[in-house]
Amino acid sequence: MRIVVALGGNALLKRGEPMTAENQRANVRRAAVELAELVKAGHSLVITHGNGPQVGLLALQAAATPGMPFPLDVLDAETAGMIGYVIQQELGNVVKDRPVATLLTQVRVDPRDPAFATPTKPIGPVYDEATARRLAAQRGWAIAPDNDKWRRVVPSPKPLEILEVEVLAFLVERGVIVICAGGGGIPVVNLDSGGIIGVEAVIDKDLASSLLARQLGADMLVMLTDVDAVYLDWGTPKARPLDRVQAGDISAAAFASGSMGPKVEAAIAFATETGQPAAIGKLEDAVEIVAGRRGTRINSGG
């Protein structure tokens, strides 16, 4: 099968870990082992990944350097290259009989998307509430709760079109394992002159992955994270995992907008439009998730 695999932030940095190059590489190395098992099973992979902690750290570094206020689209590109390099190298060390390539990916968004007026996408390190509010006042940030901590939030417009999809398809059809749409891709808008230009935003990785999977004609969309399934009533004594569910019987609105909500929304969109399944589950269960024995599988119901 042709599978788009979206790696969650835990594949790069586990919650609470210091954001060091060594920690990130060690986590990617573990993810590469799981992805290699899917390749060995005969699947064709297109891999996407998040960049929230990394792009936030680069934004902090840029803000601290006089005369170097790089915009978010440039930082998105930097993190896509940086993270893609590590995934490409570690996966290539495990899968030695298949070429692996990273492609910077531009994603068209609507400049009138209401998300630009309502930032929701968490980036950067976590802070206690007092520190977050102090930094927000100093730097003009929007902030929001992230579980028991607080983080900076930025605009996250809906992805409309993967601009490099023809190049991606060309590579995939020739057996290349492609790493792309890093951090949701680089957000760009159309210019009146006919060109494009980047904008200050970070696209949700799962929504971009769903769009990518639809444009590539993928057989399955798999979103790997640090929980074993989608849970109803998460964080309460009544929490219970979902096994198999029809797209029409679930709503993204029932889940947290900063975490599981976009994954469910992405899964519903893919399953509904293509008739193919989407799945959400734990990175270590990747093979079992694809086989339908673990995680939450969302079917079209058609």
Q: What is the DSSP string of 139-174?
A: HT-EEEEETTEEEEEE--PPP-EETTHHHHHHHHHT
**Spatial separation of the C-alpha atoms in residues 130 and 137, rounded to whole Å:** 11
Beta strands in 9-71 (DSSP E): 44-49
Q: Which of 50, 51, 263, 295 is catalytic?
A: 263
Q: Which pairing describes strands 106-108 and 186-190: parallel, antiparallel, or unpaired?
A: parallel
Helix (H), strand (E) at residue 119? none
Nearest to 109 by CA among 187, 34, 41: 187
Task: List helix spans (H) across 217-291.
Answer: 260-274, 286-290
Beta-ladder partners of 197: 189
Is residue 83 within 8 Å of 47, Cβ to Cβ? Answer: no
DSSP 8-state code for residue 261: H
- Please, what sign has the CA dihedral across residues 139, 146, 108, 77? positive
Selected catalytic residue, list 84, 205, 261, 282? 205
Q: Is residue 158 among the annotated active site residues?
A: no
Q: Which helix (H) or strand (E) holds 192?
A: none
Annotated catalytic residue 40? no
d(CA 133, CA 152): 10
Catalytic choice (10, 27, 51, 299) = 10
Per-residue DSSP letter, 250: -
238 is catalytic: no
Which listed residue (27, 52, 121, 185) is catalytic?
121
Catalytic residues: 9-10, 121, 205, 263
